Structure 1
Amino acid sequence: MHEKIHYSQLAIMVYMVQSGIIIFALPRIVAEAFGMNGWLGIMGLSVLVLVNLYFIILVYKKGAGRSVFTIVEASLPKFVYYPLYIFMITTFGLLAVLVAKNYVMRIQLTMFPDVKPNYFLVYFLLLILFFLSKGIYNMSKITVVFFFSTVWLLFLLFILIPEFSFTRLTTFFFQGATDPIGKGIEAYTSFLGYELTLFLIPYVQKDGNFGKAIVFGHLFTTFVYTVTCFMTMGFFSFNQLKNILYPTHTILKFMQTPLIERIENFVFAFILLKVIVTVAFYYWAALEVSQSMLKSVNKKWLIALMFLGSFLVGAVLDVQREINELFTIITIPQIIFAFSFPLLLLCLLWLNKRKERMNTEIA
């Protein structure tokens, strides 16, 4: 009998998958999306995610802990759910490799400008492959270790307190937004990753804490994002913030400690642990879908094909702008999927229950 993921591990997994390298650009994104005091917009986006999480929790309760694949395959024919599976495999794999390539590009530009980023991508994917090979239960345990290895980074914001000024926040709210829709969607993508909890349902403890765990994990992400944006907006003026590509990274350059001179490079090394978790769990979800779709194919072949295909896509992209554009193209359908897939599962569960009730009455 396999062990089950504890609800505390699940909460940490949600936070670790959601948060990542986007936090370096998030203050600028919310400033462009919501304007002055845009950090408040993070809370509004968080509420939208909570609505989505409510649907996921309903799937868990109505489905009695059944796998999403069991629910789908019991109600829909193959010609309907196979395209859905292909969409999930493709988007999960592409999101994983784009997050990985984005990180290695930043590492290459920041610390190793003479090394080709694709070399880093190969090493990074090999590291992910090793992480993925441990299985979901060991992955959850390693994620907890990574969490306690990185959560202390939040306390670095205390170094900014002497430079923080409430006057930079201004008394105006949500004025001066330059792209509310486009940048608002981009800010929302910083929360993506919570939809992967649907695939974790069969692996978690059936103790009734599934909903509490994913909500708490998401709320902690919201707290980290809100505090980071709030402190950044009190450090830079509003106009400065809109003109700095990576405000959080720029702030790190101002931080000085008695022990570490280049603290931004030190932080980048620890952010790697968060990125590993995000990328690995997207690959894991893609692998779960692949195994459900191609049950007769060996798991090792599926992993090899998945990593090779995603690497070829990542290797072609050498310009940050191209990566960002493709990421935007993929994340919009992913947001739609995150909302619609739980609703589809709820409809299928309702139809199955209705069919069972009718069969009972006839019998």
Structure 2
Amino acid sequence: MEKDKQYSLLISPFLIMFVIHSNQIGVGILGFPRYIEAFAGNDSWIVVLITGTVFHVFIWMMYRILSEGNFDIVDLNNKWFGKWIGSILNCALMLYLLLGATVILRTFIEVIQAWMFPELATWIPAAIYLLLTYYVLAGGFRTVTGICFFGVIIPIWLAFTAASPAKLSSFSNLLPIMDHSLMDFVSGTKQMTLSFLGAEILLLAYPFIKKPKNSRIWAHMGVGLTTILYTMVMIVSLAFYSSGQLQQSIWSTLIAWKVVELPFVERFEYIGITFWCFVIFPNICLNIWGASRVGKKVLHIKQKYFVLILITIVFTVCILMTNRDQIDYLNTLASKIGFYFYYIYLPFIFLYSSIWRRVKKRI
């Protein structure tokens, strides 16, 4: 009976697509094209495809790592590296997830302040978001997954608004193709990694999936959906702006929304930002849930109490950041840590787990 109850708390395999996709799409999509274009120019859309392909490899690595059993990365770190080193690695993961939640929330608040309410105090939207986050997390991972599902479905219609800027675009801006060096593509891919961060939540969500091995294809579909969306935004941005204009546009996607015409609203970007609240919310919920999950296992604190501690930390950091330079620094820090996580830690863990399994079979 207890086993049936626990099984009923798990999510269906196809829902991992929404979990991964919703955690990858965040506030970065509103302005990432200018950062990639600075390295790869008109070939930036190819950089997006390359980064998406690399993340499919990372997803494959994660499933290989997690195939050890019905464990998450916290359990495996402790198993492979012992209590002390494992705890250090797990605490680093917790801080990384907490940083991700803080970056997403504070950057989106900056968008609201810059575009809609310049005089809005930072603590007001931060408090609203974090109180709602606590309410969702109190319902467990199934509730968080439900938020991810609606965070993809409700704002999905915004993808069709790309047609309006496309009408005024010059797609000859994409030519000539493959006009940049290998190092340009490498630098662009490194920069693009920040926008693809979020798939690492699989390392913690794996034990919460019914028949988790069956979810592999859905995880790849989540990354694929992210790649398609980013590629579409990048192509439209390259065609809509000249190189000089794109470099001067901090929020290029929002500016492009200005050309969307509806008979009942003059400033469509206000609608876009409003609906983007549904996109940002799952990011915050998943990152704080992941950090609290790690904290529960490492520090042996009840998750519902640890969530309150983490929310307080995120709230404090958000209100202490008062200017664009501080927010940029936090984004850069998250990008660097995410890069090292995916390109150093994940391959190392993958190789270590592969060697561990081979040695174990021979013994």
From 23, 26, 33, the counterpart of 2:29: 23
* Partner SS state of residue 241, structure 2: coil
Q: Which is worse superposed, 349-358 or 228-237? A: 349-358
Is 343-352 or 256-265 further displaced after alignment?
A: 343-352
Decide which moves more: 84-93 or 170-179.
170-179
1:7 is aligned with what amino acid? P
Q: Which aligned runs of 4 or more in structure 1 are off by greater than 3 angstroms?
A: 172-184
1:127, CA displacement in angstroms?
1.8
- Give, in angstroms, the shift of residue 161 of structure 1: 3.4
1:56: how far off? Answer: 0.7
Single out whichever of 187-196 and 349-358 deviates more from structure 2: 349-358
The answer for the alignment partner of 2:214 in structure 1 is 209
Aligned residues: 356
Partner residue of 2:309 out of 300, 305, 312 = 305
Cα distance between partner residues in 2 of 1:240 and 1:315 = 32
- Tell me which of 246, 253, 256 is aligned to 2:251: 246
Residues 137-146 or 170-179, more deviating:
170-179
Change beyond 3 A, Cα 1:174–1:313: farther
Task: Give the alignment's TM-score, normalised by structure 1.
Answer: 0.91
Identify the residue that residue 336 of structure 2 maps to in structure 1.
332
**Change in 2 beyond 3 A, CA 1:321/1:184:** farther
1:32/1:242 contact within 8 Å kept: yes
Structure 1 residue 179, shift from structure 2 partner: 7.5
Q: Is the 8 A contact 1:38 1:173 kept in 2?
A: no
Q: Distance in 1 between matches of 2:320 and 2:93?
A: 22
- Distance of aligned partners of 1:349 and 1:25 in 2 relative to their CA distance in 1, 3 Å threshold: same
Task: Give 1:46 shift.
Answer: 1.3
C-alpha separation between the residues in 1 aligned to 2:165 and 2:120? 33
Greater shift, 163-172 or 277-286, is seen at 163-172
Pairwise CA distance, 1:182: 5.9
Q: Which residue of 2 aligns with 1:230?
A: 235
Q: In structure 2, what residue type is equivalent to 1:188?
A: T
CA separation of 1:181/1:341 partners in 2, compared to 1, >3 Å: closer, same or farther? closer
Task: Within 5 Å, give how 1:16-95 maps onto structure 2.
Answer: 16-61=22-67, 63-95=68-100
Distance, in Å, in 2 between the alignment partners of 1:233 and 1:17 is 25
Task: Provide Cα deviations, 1:11-57, integer angstroms capped at 9, x if missing partner.
Answer: 11111110111111122122112112311210111122122111112
Q: Give, in angstroms, the shift of residue 272 of structure 1.
A: 0.9
Listed as ranges, the gaps of 5+ residues in structure 2 are none
- Equivalence for 1:283: 288
**Amino acid in the other structure paired with 1:195:** E
Contact 1:11 1:214 in 2 (8 A): yes
In structure 1, how many angstroms separate the alpha carbons of the residues matched to 2:254 and 2:22? 19
For the 8 Å contact 1:71–1:348, the answer to whether it is kept is no
Residue identity opposite 1:156 in structure 2:
T
1:134 aligns with 2:139: yes
Partner secondary structure for residue 66 of structure 1: coil
Partner of 1:118: 123
Segments of 5+ residues of structure 1 without an aligned counterpart are: 359-363
The TM-score normalised by the length of structure 2 is 0.91
For 1:103, the equivalent position in structure 2 comes to 108
Deviates more, 1:158-167 or 1:48-57: 158-167
Alignment of 1:315 onto 2:319: yes
Give 1:161's match in structure 2, choosing from 159, 163, 166.
166
- Deviates further, 2-11 or 105-114: 2-11
Distance in 1, matches of 2:70 and 2:306, equals: 26
| Residue in structure 1 matched with residue 20 of structure 2 by the alignment | 14
What is the rounded CA distance, in whole Å, between the counterparts of 1:33 and 1:129 in structure 2?
Answer: 40
- Tell which deviates more after alignment, 314-323 or 280-289: 314-323
Letter in structure 1 aligned against 2:289: W
